[in-house]
Amino acid sequence: MSGEDFQPLLAQASAELQAGRPDAAERAYREVLARDANHPVALHFLGLCLMQTGRTQDGLALLARSVELLPGKAKPRHNYAVSLLQAGHLEAAERELLEAIRLEPENAASHHYLGMVRQRLGRLDAAAGAYRAALERLPDDPFVASNLGYCLLEQGKIEAALEWLRRSIAREPRNATAHNNLGSALNAAGDVGSATASYRKAVEIEPAYAVAWYNLALALRESGDDEGALAALRAAAHSGPGFAPAWQALADALAHAEYATWDARAADDVARILRNPAVDAGALAHSAARLLMLDPGFGPAFRAIVEGDVRAGEWFSDDRIGALAHPILLALIEDALVPDPLFEIFLRSLRRSALRAWSAGMLGESARVLELLCALAQQCFLNEYVWPERPDEAADVEGIAAPAGNVLSPTVLALVAAYRPIARIAGLARPDTSSDAFGRLWRRQVEEPAEEARLRAEIPALTPIADRISRAVQEQYERNPYPRWHRLPQTLAAAYPLARALRTLFPQVDATRLRAPESPAVLVAGCGTGYQAAVTAARNPAGRILAIDLSRTSLAYAMRRCRKLGLRNVRFAQADILALDALAERFDWIECSGVLHHLRDPIAGWRVLTALLVPGGVMKIGLYSEIARRGVVAARELVAREGVGSDLDGIRKARQLILDQPEGSAARAATLSADFWSASGMRDLVMHVEEHRFGTEQLAAAIGELGLEFLGFELEDPEVARAYRARFPGDPAAISLENWGRFEAENPAVSVRMYQFWVRKPGERL
């Protein structure tokens, strides 16, 4: 059959595709390919059909074949590039767009998409150039004008951004995206009221515009309208089920909720948040647990377990497990530590009841029982088995797991995993089960630690670790890597380049002094398990990040997590900050949060880092506050007096000492920290081998001694900044450390456990 014979079939397929019926179009294209397997047009448009129906990899493969068969055609290259952009393959998309532009230089759409790709890559100058090239060819396009405006906003050129965004709206008043972007530009200009009006206009035009609802929520929160902000966040989340930033912000907002009665609407939101892999629900865990306790269906089982009902094992029978295996409970304890004493009693009693049920032959083997025990084992692995065990429990568990070659069912193995990491069981083979819950448990307890053990060998050493205190700190984190993290919220994973972040944090500073390269060289000094390094790499995709730490165990954890996230712009190495003065590299940006106060000489370490910073470079530092740590210091002193060890048994004893203190006591305040609820967190919190604390006078002295410029604090709670400015209206930039010292002394309850602040090295970048 000749090529001409395919025209009716291709025309039919094209009509189906344009009418929004990709399945029908697919059938027609496949009919063509059944007769001519290399028909380039059918391959190309079948690839587009597969992309539209979610079969991304297969679609991209067909599109790649088609462009090879159509080497001189610009349009297929353009379509392939757009599909690569949709799939997140930004570098490949850029290459294809450049080739499409070479083939057809006057195609405004290719220049436009090239701008979008480069903007997402963080190359803002190049992105703006591509947008301007598109506008040269299509001067009246409101969508290109809107994107150029937003790109200029990201560059900090607020007035130019406002001009282009207003021009876009003048050309197309119903462009909701332009109204949303205008709101962001107005917000950056400090006009929150007008920004709010722009966001409201965007959602009026497009009621399901999740991003605009989200931005409206942030603006309302900034203006103090918490109720309106929560309503807007709900609208954002429900308008965009896949828009993770809205769900993350809703999780953070609901974390402050206090429930007196069961709230089904809140429970539905909580359940959806907990099941969302792009949301870190750690902050929500306490509130979610308290809400769950009020569920009329779950409450009786909860009370029976907590009160130690001798018949508690009956809840594990196949006919009663449904009430206990609540969906919120399962999702909550699998991925988040629950910082609540009463809920810990419940979970410890639940574990003990399951063991008793097994001993009595009452432990069911249903899918629901397995799912519950897997979730419970996940919680225990997350807290690193910090809960105490009774002697009879330990004996029973050893009796289950000890016999060599013992073949355990998935249910019994999950029960053992709630007491011991099952990777330590000699000769253990994965049982044959199709349970997704058990698969997740096996991956976290067996496969991931094995991967980290392999990765340790890949870690280069940049410096020796000779200092006595540094070696002691290294030993602590080899045994107890901290913090264990499992999710990177999408709010922290979206591109947010350094220059824009600095302008947002410190609008009072002359923008010329906050210039930052689009591809900054970054040092994360003391990266621990890699959370901050991952955030920095994700938010600065064009950056080059070196992350160092003393502990190879921590670094291996960091490498595994960052590889899983696909972060290729961060490298890890073992090093001691005190020995980094021999490093030849220099950095535009250094982050060192929660690290210097664990060195033998924090200021000496800070001095080394300052020497590694280029003139005009910036540094984010995190140091413990003496005032904010008063409760922790009391707990440290209590534990030190008892002389408990730093092994797991000692950590358990230290926790119980603190829990036994009366409510309102200084040491009991340590339980308010999320770190109290895991073994590594507990050791870092109150049993660290070395700790220094600072006041604002010491900060001012150190900053002056090192010749740095204080830019300001980075505050998580906007209420703190508002309260400070109300107290010291003469310091709107909030940069007087003397005033901050007074504010902290007057308001210890609103203080933070750690000063997080930015400094700048004087001079101009070379």
pLDDT tens digits for range 76-117: 999 999 999 999 899 999 999 999 999 999 999 999 999 999
- The 8 Å CB, 24+ separation contacts for 423-431 are 423/449, 423/450, 425/401, 431/407
CA dist., res. 701 & res. 603, Å (int): 10
| Residue 167, CA distances (Å) to 136, 154, 204, 435 in order | 15, 18, 20, 56
pLDDT tens digits for range 572-626: 999 999 999 999 999 999 999 999 999 999 999 999 999 999 999 999 999 999 9
* Kind and range of the H or E run holding 720: helix 718-727
Beta-carbon contacts of 393 under 8 Å, excluding residues fewer than 6 positions away, are 352, 355, 419
pLDDT tens digits for range 669-699: 999 999 999 999 999 999 999 999 999 999 9
pLDDT greater than 90 at residue 165? yes
Instruction: Tell me the average pLDDT across 553-566.
Output: 96
pLDDT greater than 70 at residue 518? yes
pLDDT of residue 1: 40
**Residues forming a β-bridge with 544:** 521
Is the bond into 483 cis (omega within 30 degrees of 0)? yes
User: How many C-beta atoms surround the C-beta of residue 11 within 10 A?
Assistant: 11
Maximum distance among all Cα pairs of the chain, rounded to whole angstroms:
91
User: CA-based angle 88:94:99, to the nearest 5?
Assistant: 140
For every residue of 653-684, which 3-state class applies, written as one string? HHHHHHHCCCCCCCHHHHHHCHHHHCHHHHHH
pLDDT of residue 729: 94
Instruction: Tell me the average pLDDT across 47-51.
Output: 91
pLDDT of residue 402: 63
CA dist., res. 479 & res. 557, Å (int): 13
Please choose, from the candidates 610, 635, 590, the residue with its C-alpha nearest in 3D space to the C-alpha of residue 753.
635
| Residue 692, CA distances (Å) to 166, 466, 689 in order | 52, 20, 11
pLDDT greater than 50 at residue 765? yes
pLDDT greater than 90 at residue 491? no
Q: pLDDT band at residue 154, thresholds of 50, 70 and 90?
A: confident
**Residues forming a β-bridge with 624:** 754
* Kind and range of the H or E run holding 549: strand 544-549
Q: pLDDT band at residue 751, thresholds of 50, 70 and 90?
A: low
Please choose, from the candidates 142, 74, 137, 80, the residue with its C-alpha nearest in 3D space to the C-alpha of residue 111.
137
Q: pLDDT band at residue 506, thresholds of 50, 70 and 90?
A: confident
pLDDT of residue 3: 45
CA dist., res. 632 & res. 671, Å (int): 9
Q: pLDDT averaged over the chain?
A: 92
- The 8 Å CB, 24+ separation contacts for 159-168 are 161/185, 161/188, 162/186, 162/189, 167/142, 168/142, 168/143
Q: What is the DSSP string of 401-449?
A: H-STT----HHHHHHHHTTS-GGGSTT--------HHHHHHHIIIIIHH
Q: DSSP secondary-structure letter at 361?
A: T
pLDDT of residue 343: 96
pLDDT greater than 70 at residue 750? no
Q: pLDDT band at residue 492, thresholds of 50, 70 and 90?
A: confident
For residues 750 and 723, the answer to whether their CB atoms sit within 8 Å is yes
Among the ranges given (220-229, 256-265, 549-558, 714-723), the one the predictor scored with the smallest mean pLDDT: 714-723
Beta-carbon contacts of 204 under 8 Å, excluding residues fewer than 6 positions away, are none
Tell me the CATH number for domain 486-629+693-766. Answer: 3.40.50.150
For residues 191 and 215, the answer to whether their CB atoms sit within 8 Å is no
pLDDT of residue 312: 60
pLDDT greater than 50 at residue 395? yes
Instruction: Tell me the average pLDDT across 285-306.
Output: 93
Tokens 């970048």 identify what position? 765
pLDDT tens digits for range 335-362: 999 999 999 999 999 999 999 888 888 8
pLDDT of residue 2: 45
Q: What is the DSSP string of 280-324?
A: --GGGHHHHHHHHHT-TTTHHHHHHHHTT-TTGGGGGSTTTHHHH
- In percent, how much of the chain has pLDDT > 70? 97
CA dist., res. 106 & res. 109, Å (int): 9
Q: Any idea where the domains of the chain sit in the sequence?
A: 297-455, 486-629+693-766, 630-686
CA dist., res. 220 & res. 228, Å (int): 6
For residues 444 and 381, the answer to whether their CB atoms sit within 8 Å is yes
pLDDT tens digits for range 323-339: 889 999 999 999 999 99
Q: pLDDT band at residue 501, thresholds of 50, 70 and 90?
A: confident
- Exposure letters 698-714 (e unless 16+ CB within 10 A, then b): bbbebbeebebebbbbb
Among the ranges given (308-312, 379-383, 498-502), the one the predictor scored with the smallest mean pLDDT: 308-312
pLDDT tens digits for range 449-488: 999 999 999 999 999 999 999 999 999 999 999 999 988 8
Sheet holding 521-525, edge to edge: 570-574, 544-549, 521-525, 587-593, 613-624, 754-760, 709-713
Q: DSSP secondary-structure letter at 172?
A: -
**Predicted TM-score of the model (pTM):** 0.85
What count of Cα atoms within 13 Å lies in the side-chain half-sphere of residue 426?
A: 5
Tokens 């018949």 identify what position? 311
Please choose, from the candidates 496, 499, 572, the residue with its C-alpha nearest in 3D space to the C-alpha of residue 541.
496
pLDDT of residue 752: 55
